[in-house]
Amino acid sequence: MSIQHSTDSLIRYLIESVTDPKALKVSLTLLSIIENENPIPVAENEILNNEMLNKGLLLNKHSIRTGLNTAVQDQAILKLYKSDDETKTSFYIANIEHWIQSVKSSGYVLQDIGNNNPPNKPEKSQHINEPINIYRLYETHIGTITPSISEELKEAETLYDPAWITEAFNIAVTGEKNNWRYISTILTRWNLEGKKDGKFRRHTEAPDNNKYINEYRRLRTRDS
């Protein structure tokens, strides 16, 4: 797991690496409501009912939950539960080193850090030879399909050529990066930049992220 050492380094990571707007909005909102010197994890229901996310950023609870899952998968935020809580209520905190140390000392346990693939998944082949159903691709090479992932797969199936999808899975499997966020990022870049030779090249700009970063900074300034 890649841990950020400060709020600023996490913001840089969000700008450079988080491509999903919902995940970015959720991550910045979480940063804005947690005190830097006294970090307390935020319960999932509190995030789902957050007024700024629901009204100011025009997200519904389903979109917020999808953003949470994506942000955890991108390791921008971490999912936790209390060690003495039998119900295993979900809490979240930003992936910042001293925040993690603080919540661990308060009895919180991190859930499946850095590994979003389910355990005991079938052994993956190292190359996909022919285009097949996107859901079967996911189940074979990544794992169980959750409702939020199913929605994303359905959207990808309508947006991208089947050969693109298969090739993106091939790149991920060959590079041992078997997760949907990596595959989705490849497809998004190809769509934005043109596929050309089919090689995935990281885009260095993040124009859509800047407005969310600026809004986060405005809110932090207002509340300080």
pLDDT tens-digit map of 116-173: 333 333 344 444 444 468 888 888 888 888 888 889 998 898 888 888 888 888 888 8
What are the extents of the domains in the chain? 7-114, 117-204
In the numeric block, the tokens 């909102």 are attached to 29
Copy the structure tokens of residue 14. Answer: 């969000």
Q: Distance between CA 128 and CA 210 in Å, rounded?
A: 37
| Contact by Cβ (8 Å): 223, 24 | no
The strands making up 42-43's β-sheet, listed across from edge to edge, are: 42-43, 91-94, 77-82, 108-110
Copy the structure tokens of residue 183. Answer: 């595959």
pLDDT tens-digit readout, 75-105: 889 888 888 877 778 899 988 888 888 888 8
- CATH of region 7-114, choose from 3.30.300.30, 1.10.10.10, 1.20.120.330, 1.10.520.10: 1.10.10.10
Quick one: pLDDT at residue 180?
Answer: 92
Helix, strand or coil, per DSSP, at residue 92: strand
Quick one: pLDDT at residue 196?
Answer: 62
Q: Of 28, 149, 38, 152, whose CA–CA distance to 94 is shortest?
A: 28
Quick one: pLDDT at residue 56?
Answer: 66
Output phi, psi for 89, to 5 deg: -60, 135
Q: Distance between CA 76 and CA 74 in Å, rounded?
A: 5
Q: Of 44, 20, 47, 17, whose CA–CA distance to 32 is shortest?
A: 47
Tell me the average pLDDT across 187-210.
61
pLDDT at 205 over 50: no
Copy the structure tokens of residue 4. Answer: 């950020």
pLDDT at 194 over 50: yes
In the numeric block, the tokens 């998944």 are attached to 121
> CA separation (Å) from 203 to 13, 154, 185?
14, 25, 10
- Higher-pLDDT residue of 215 and 104 is 104
pLDDT tens-digit readout, 159-175: 888 888 888 888 888 87
Q: State which H helix or E strand residue 109 sits in.
A: strand 108-110
pLDDT tens-digit readout, 38-66: 788 889 889 888 888 887 666 778 888 88
% of the chain with per-residue pLDDT over 90: 2
Q: Distance between CA 88 and CA 110 in Å, rounded?
A: 11
Q: Distance between CA 216 and CA 221 in Å, rounded?
A: 9
This model's pTM is above 0.75? no
